[in-house]
Chain A
Amino acid sequence: MSTATVTFDAIAEHMAEVLQVPRDQLKPDVLISDLGADSLGLVEMAIDLQEEFDVIITHEEFAAIRTLGDLESLLRSRQ
């Protein structure tokens, strides 16, 4: 399986699918806490992105992320 390159569009596509939110609502300044994800949704989202981009995020790093832009920056820094 090839590794995808981290882009905001790619992240947003995955998150829209996993969390079942409209893609056009996902912007870099959107707070993750505003997406209405439950615990299982957050786990699935975190695993999905790491599997897709072949990176590792720890619990502490994930807990510190506030916006989708923060998430993009973290994933980019790991790839």
Chain B
Amino acid sequence: MTADDNDRWMLSYYRVSEINGALFFGRVARVMRPGYLQSQVTHHFADEAAHASYWTGCMEDLGFYPEKQRTAYQDRYFTALGVPANLMEVLAITLVFEKRVIGHYRRHLAHPDTHPRIRQTIERIMFDERRHLRYVREALDNMGARYGAEVVSRTTERYEEADREVYAAAIAEFGERMTFLETAADRAARTLAGRSSGVI
């Protein structure tokens, strides 16, 4: 089993997503008040940086180097919705993104032609992603008292809706690089996104 150009592009895309995630959580962690949540967000920042390193090592083991990419999947959220303006919004967007990442990696693992070295890296990263999901869910539950449970719920729903559109648009834009992971539901969403954006 060999890696090809598509693997190089896809793994580089995963890598830049982890790098941009680390930069994001690092910026948030350095201005947060001390306490449990600061500790978790700092750990999250370190995990994202480690994941970028895992992907770099994975690509090297497969015999190639990462492509230079700047823009990550989650950057599209800012374009679609603007930047999150408070800690609750940061965690709501993180919850939605972590769920997307886990779902996407699961799909990649389910693909029969996934290289064993790629599979190993995804499994290692998913272990951390599940922990991220747990602390973020717990923090959002606790934030209901300060921000209002209804506000937290509405904010999360708003980001989930945006994520569905962003994911469909990404699949439409990246075409054959990602369609090997596509489901029937994605194809339907992509068709709708294409109609509304004029892509298809």
Determine how close the nearest CB of chain B comes to the CB of A38; give it in whole angstroms: 10
Q: Which of B23, B32, B33, B84 contacts A59 (CB 8 A)?
A: B84
Known contacts: A1-B33, A39-B78. The answer to whether A46 contacts B24 by CB under 8 A is no
Indicate if A47 sits at the interface (CB-CB under 8 A).
Answer: yes
Q: Say yes or no: B82 contacts A47, CB within 8 Å.
A: no
Chief secondary structure at chain B's binding surface = helix
Q: Say yes or no: B85 contacts A62, CB within 8 Å.
A: yes
Indicate if A9 sits at the interface (CB-CB under 8 A).
Answer: no
Q: Which residues 14-30 of B sit at the A interface, judged by CB distance below 8 A? A: 23-24, 27-28, 30
Interface stretch, picked from B86-94, B115-123, B192-200, is B86-94
Q: Say yes or no: A18 contacts B83, CB within 8 Å.
A: no
Indicate if A34 sits at the interface (CB-CB under 8 A).
Answer: no
Q: Which residues of A contact B83 (CB under 8 A)?
A: 39, 42-43, 46, 59, 62
Indicate if A29 sits at the interface (CB-CB under 8 A).
Answer: no
Known contacts: A1-B34, A44-B28. The answer to whether A58 contacts B78 by CB under 8 A is no
Closest A residue to B34 by beta carbon equals A1
Q: Which of A18, A56, A59, A62 contacts B146 (CB 8 A)?
A: A56
Q: Which of A47, A57, A59, A63 contacts B31 (CB 8 A)?
A: A47
Kindly state the interface size class of chain B when it binds its partner: 20 to 34
Chief secondary structure at chain A's binding surface = helix
Q: Say yes or no: B24 contacts A43, CB within 8 Å.
A: yes
Q: Which of B27, B82, B90 has the most CB of A within 10 A?
A: B27
Q: How far is B23's CA from A18's CA once the two chains are assembled, in angstroms? A: 14
Indicate if B184 sits at the interface (CB-CB under 8 A).
Answer: no
Indicate if B81 sits at the interface (CB-CB under 8 A).
Answer: yes
Q: Which residues 62-105 of B sit at the A interface, judged by CB distance below 8 A? A: 75, 78, 81-90
Known: A39-B78, A41-B27, A47-B90. 8 other contacts (CB 8 A): A48-B31, A50-B86, A51-B31, A51-B87, A58-B86, A59-B83, A61-B85, A62-B83
Q: How far is B83's CA from A51's CA once the two chains are assembled, in angstroms? A: 17
Q: Which residues of A contact B86 (CB under 8 A)?
A: 46-47, 50, 56-59
